[in-house]
Structure 1
Amino acid sequence: MSMGEQPLFEAVQDGNDETKDMEGVVEIQDTASANKVDDKSLRGEYTWVIENWSQIKEPKKYSENFEIGTHLWRLLVCPQGMNAPGQLSVFLDSPEAAFAPANLNPTASFKLTIINQKTPGQGDYWKESSHKWSQTETDWGFSQCMLLAELHDPERGFIVNDTLKIKVEITVQRDERYYYDSRKETGYVGLKNQGATCYMNSLLQYLYHLPYFRKAVYHMPTSENDEPTTSLPLALQSLFYKLQYSRTPVSTKDLTKSFGWSTMDAFMQHDVQELNRVLCEKLEEKMKGTRVERVINELFEGHTLNYLECVAVDYKSSRRESFMDLQLDVKGCSDIYDSFDRYTQVEMMDGENQYKAEGYGLQDARKGVLFDQLPPVLQLQLKRFEYDFERDTMVKINDRYEFYDELDLDRGDGKYLSPQADRSVRNQYKLHSVLVHSGGVHGGHYYAYIRPDGKTWLKFDDTAVTIEGGSKALEEQFGGEDEPGGSPAGRLQGPVQEGEQQQQQLAGTPLMPKQRLKFTKFSNAYMLVYVRLSDWPRYMAPVAKDGIAPYLLERLEDGIAPYLLERLEAEQREKERRQKEKQEAHLYCHVRIATDADIAQQVGSSQWFDLVDYDQLPPSRTFRVRKLTRFSDFKQQVRAAAHCV
């Protein structure tokens, strides 16, 4: 092909012709490895060797069907040209496109090559194109592929011994809307939404991405007779294992059934904080007496010191309390440090609110809360929802509230810590997860930004998992107001017009530039999870299938129980098999075969109006058949199956 010659391609509909048996030798090579079926593109090539070229009389000739990228293809050649006299016409045909759903029809780029048999690879003639096949365009190619004079020139070497060789190389492009593989793109998979379980999915993803928590779940005692629908530990073990090794999004139905939830519960949004507490309490109860006892407390439990001291007399009292999470004010606070300032703010008890001290009567006093011990994993619930007494209703607080990549709770010379707190522990935290609520007080959508490795942010939005930038997880979840298109606040909409300027001057008002309209951002963070930097290596170490890292606690040194591992792997293999069948369902149909013996057995006993009830036939009589299979080939398949019985 000369460099200046441009390919001319056009659609040719020829879906009514039957596929004919081909003469000659066929060479097929599919270069797409079976281990790469989830690649963005599937590549393969096919060489059609057409013998007795000069003896072909029909205007169109098809190759046999061949498969590349799960799609069937065939080549179509018009020896005398298709609406182009003196030209060889060659097209790539997708026979299944005539009946396949539009979203499952192939999109591919391809290269058609007329092989020079005298000097293969050097004097070849080729043309390239790309196309999306459909019911109205089942084939695509070149009506003016090559001049017949050049094709038949013996010096060119395209026809040797009355044999022509045409090779096609195909690259099938996957439609990411239907074939996005989050495991391949990000290393992680999502969770299916049962109707209104996005809040639970966000929480589960966060807990799963605490490896130390996941290891503890794997070591909770279960028996071989337990079922995931009735055993919370087994349901959570199964869920975490599938999140770790599955290639496709994971269902949470077994887990919600183990909660005792009905289908209706799955369509109702529950409180995330309450679900987190109840789930951890149930797990803590199941862990008692095992080697993972108190792991929940070890991860999440901290202690506060509630104190009270009188101003004028020597009277003090204090009480140490534990917490698993903290609720921080959002309204009236500009950032997370303002919330901690308010949480530990000293309250004066004076006037009508004096404190009655034992032995001293009513006294002015100071009371407050300080942190006696902070946990390795700090769960912060942001109070985005509160009751509005004036409006007599619940409202969502969408005010701007800033939080940071790192959180230093030793700041201000340890102003948040009690006097007896261990000052040798550095309370410097790194942000691990941001759970987001998008919507209003009566409903909305939940998703999470999580940083499993401490570097790359990932967005977990039910089944979708994508890599995101840090600003998506932080700045864009502060809340507050924004402008259309996300423009910076205060940006000029345009210069003040002359007429407007004169009106402002006459009115004696200062000149002000136009401002863009602002709108409230209803998507904002409602839960933050920080992990202490000094504890990150301990609690965030990866979980391996074949064992646990040696520097972890002795109780977590063993791998996943062998029987549990075997059971979960078997479930995963079955799920992948069903998924593959589902992806290829448009290519196949099921045919059931009834024999004379079946008819004789059923008629008059279980059947009176039909010859046979196919549902009563044994599974061996059902055949999964490619839709374009010839009837003669299907008969051979049935005959072979009958001989095996």
Structure 2
Amino acid sequence: MTITTTPPLDQQNLEEDTEMLVPNSDLVVEGPQPMEVHAENTNTVDAMAVEDPPAGRFTWTIDNFSRLPKKHYSDVFTVGGYKWRILIFPKGNNAEHLSMYIDVADSVTMPYGWTRFAQFSLTVVNQAHSKYSIRKENNNLELFDIAETQHQFNARESDWGFTNFMPLSELYDPSRGYVMDDRCILEADVNVRKDLDYWAHDSKKETGCVGLKNQGATCYMNSLLQTLYHIPYFRKAVYHMPTTENDMPSGSIPLALQSLFYKLQYNDSSVSTKELTKSFGWDTYDSFMQHDVQELNRVLCEKLEDKMKGTVVEGTIQQLFEGHHMNYIECMTVDYKSTRKESFYDLQLDVKGCTDVYASFDKYVEVEKLEGDNKYHAEQYGLQEAKKGVLFIDFPPVLQLQLKRFEYDFVRDTMVKINDRYEFPLQLDLDRDNGKYLSPEADRSIRNLYTLHR
């Protein structure tokens, strides 16, 4: 996540645009089990009397829910002239969550090359209080609970939905109201739309922008590159880096990035990143491996910063991304305080146990008490009880936040993704609560209000 505010860069050096936008998994199929199914189709598109409406709702009431097999389908229902069904994994699809999908019921009998486009939402009904029903939209469940998703169904992707729909602990908790008397009620709202011809879609015409091609597992890199490209000051600084006619893009990161940015700006179709990854020294195998986006960002910026030295854009990386915080240890019973100023180019924020970005910042500046066996040795005062923490002296014009979505699981001996709900506002006010994130040395006259760029 990158959050930006208007950077106070040297206008003469960069001759910047006035358009600066930003202010500072394969399981065995088991047979169907007895259940009660109630389907209701409601035309939500218009009031025309049509035999098969393009939109409808299917309600699936399941008794003996705890006795279902690990993979289970609903009865077939028809919306928009097409046959659908709900697919669930009541104990999770290799996850500690209820997994729920919309499935094309007759996919195996469809003709070669078939496609089907639909908007849909899936709901677990709360039988105690309907307002607490859970309705989901897409696989990134960080922003909204109530909305719709859309998908182009085909032979390769005949089902689509949510592996991590809701935690099993919540689903099976009788006090929550989602499973009552071993009964669960699910709903699917489907709205069939005209098929999208992706090959005929003109991204440049529709949006003014083009995308980056995925080499295999480079979506994280593409996200980073698109973010950097859409920072006008950064883009112009890249264009101003000196290169020679003897440089080859596949062997020069600056030239490869210049070429990539130029193509993103002027091409009419999606752009390949192969020249850039070759300049990293990557082979095909590397492109199919998931790399750490934070480390990639740091290495890329270091290479660019080095190339900018002695040029008109020297110091751009620092001016855009560098902030400072103060680490402190303050004794509680004697007059002694130790401080150390450090710079940062990005901030790693905890997601586990935090509901939103502000909670993550609260945890970042949380005061730790040094006491008992963990007392602080304060030079001439010896061991003392103290408090330890960090506060911010200044934030950079472009604030880069790395969300710690993975943690090490000692039982499984592997990294596990944290799928907890996490919210972030479109505007982030780091002056909130009388500047509680700021150190005494911070300039309170500078407004630390950021607009989200993601």
The alignment status of 1:256 with 2:287, answered yes or no, reads no
SS at match of 2:249: coil
The equivalent residue for 2:226 is 205
Specify the code of the residue in structure 1 equivalent to 2:362: D
The alignment status of 1:272 with 2:293, answered yes or no, reads yes
Specify the code of the residue in structure 1 equivalent to 2:449: Q
The equivalent residue for 1:367 is 388
Distance of 1:266 and 1:219 partners within structure 2: 28
CA deviations 1:289-339 (Å, max 9, x no partner) are 111111011111100100111111111110000001001111111111111
RMSD over equivalenced CA pairs, Å? 1.7
Shift of 1:393: 2.5
The equivalent residue for 2:247 is 226
SS at match of 2:235: helix
Picking from 209, 214, 217, the partner of 1:193 is 214
Paired residues for 1:611-630 under 5 Å: none
The alignment status of 1:351 with 2:372, answered yes or no, reads yes
Shift of 1:372: 0.5
The equivalent residue for 2:361 is 340
The equivalent residue for 1:499 is none
Distance of 1:333 and 1:269 partners within structure 2: 25
CA deviations 1:410-437 (Å, max 9, x no partner) are 011111000010111000111111xxxx
SS at match of 2:251: coil
The alignment status of 1:325 with 2:315, answered yes or no, reads no
Specify the code of the residue in structure 2 equivalent to 1:288: K
Distance of 2:411 and 2:214 partners within structure 1: 36
Shift of 1:392: 3.0
The alignment status of 1:389 with 2:392, answered yes or no, reads no
Shift of 1:177: 2.5
Distance of 2:196 and 2:359 partners within structure 1: 47
Specify the code of the residue in structure 1 equivalent to 2:359: D
The equivalent residue for 2:318 is 297
CA deviations 1:256-286 (Å, max 9, x no partner) are 1111111211111111111111111111111
Distance of 2:198 and 2:377 partners within structure 1: 68
Specify the code of the residue in structure 2 equivalent to 1:305: M
Specify the code of the residue in structure 2 equivalent to 1:343: Y
Deviates more, 1:181-190 or 1:332-341: 332-341
Specify the code of the residue in structure 1 equivalent to 2:336: Y
Specify the code of the residue in structure 1 equivalent to 2:226: Q
Shift of 1:360: 0.7
The equivalent residue for 1:313 is 334
Paired residues for 1:202-601 under 5 Å: 202-433=223-454
Distance of 2:223 and 2:415 partners within structure 1: 23
Distance of 1:389 and 1:194 partners within structure 2: 32
Specify the code of the residue in structure 2 equivalent to 1:413: N
CA deviations 1:12-66 (Å, max 9, x no partner) are xxxxxxxxxxxxxxxxxxxxxxxxxxxxxxxxxxxxxxxxxxxxxxxxxxxxxxx
Distance of 2:219 and 2:446 partners within structure 1: 36
Q: Considering fraction of residues, name the structure with more helix.
A: 1
Structure 2, unpaired ranges of 5+:
1-111, 114-194
Distance of 2:413 and 2:217 partners within structure 1: 26
Q: Tell which has more relative contact order, 1 or 2 (C-alpha 8 A, sep 6+).
A: 2
Distance of 2:418 and 2:199 partners within structure 1: 37
Structure with greater Cα Rg: 1
The alignment status of 1:177 with 2:198, answered yes or no, reads yes
Distance of 1:194 and 1:230 partners within structure 2: 18
Structure 1, unpaired ranges of 5+:
1-101, 104-173, 434-645
CA deviations 1:438-492 (Å, max 9, x no partner) are xxxxxxxxxxxxxxxxxxxxxxxxxxxxxxxxxxxxxxxxxxxxxxxxxxxxxxx
Specify the code of the residue in structure 2 equivalent to 1:431: L
Distance of 2:259 and 2:412 partners within structure 1: 46
- Residues 312/175 of structure 1: CA separation in 2 closer, same or farther (3 Å cut): closer
Deviates more, 1:213-222 or 1:263-272: 263-272
Distance of 1:304 and 1:245 partners within structure 2: 40
Distance of 1:390 and 1:251 partners within structure 2: 40
Paired residues for 1:110-129 under 5 Å: none
- Residues 175/341 of structure 1: CA separation in 2 closer, same or farther (3 Å cut): closer
CA deviations 1:74-121 (Å, max 9, x no partner) are xxxxxxxxxxxxxxxxxxxxxxxxxxxx99xxxxxxxxxxxxxxxxxx
Distance of 1:246 and 1:255 partners within structure 2: 17
Shift of 1:175: 7.3
Distance of 2:244 and 2:414 partners within structure 1: 48
Distance of 1:208 and 1:374 partners within structure 2: 21
SS at match of 2:298: helix
Distance of 1:383 and 1:365 partners within structure 2: 28
SS at match of 2:443: coil
Specify the code of the residue in structure 2 equivalent to 1:309: E
Distance of 1:175 and 1:321 partners within structure 2: 51
Specify the code of the residue in structure 2 equivalent to 1:416: Y
Distance of 2:415 and 2:279 partners within structure 1: 31
Distance of 2:292 and 2:243 partners within structure 1: 28
SS at match of 1:424: coil
Distance of 2:392 and 2:292 partners within structure 1: 26
SS at match of 1:278: helix
- In the comparison of the two structures, how many residue pairs are matched? 263
Distance of 1:257 and 1:346 partners within structure 2: 45
Specify the code of the residue in structure 2 equivalent to 1:268: M
The equivalent residue for 1:642 is none
Specify the code of the residue in structure 2 equivalent to 1:426: R
Distance of 1:375 and 1:265 partners within structure 2: 32
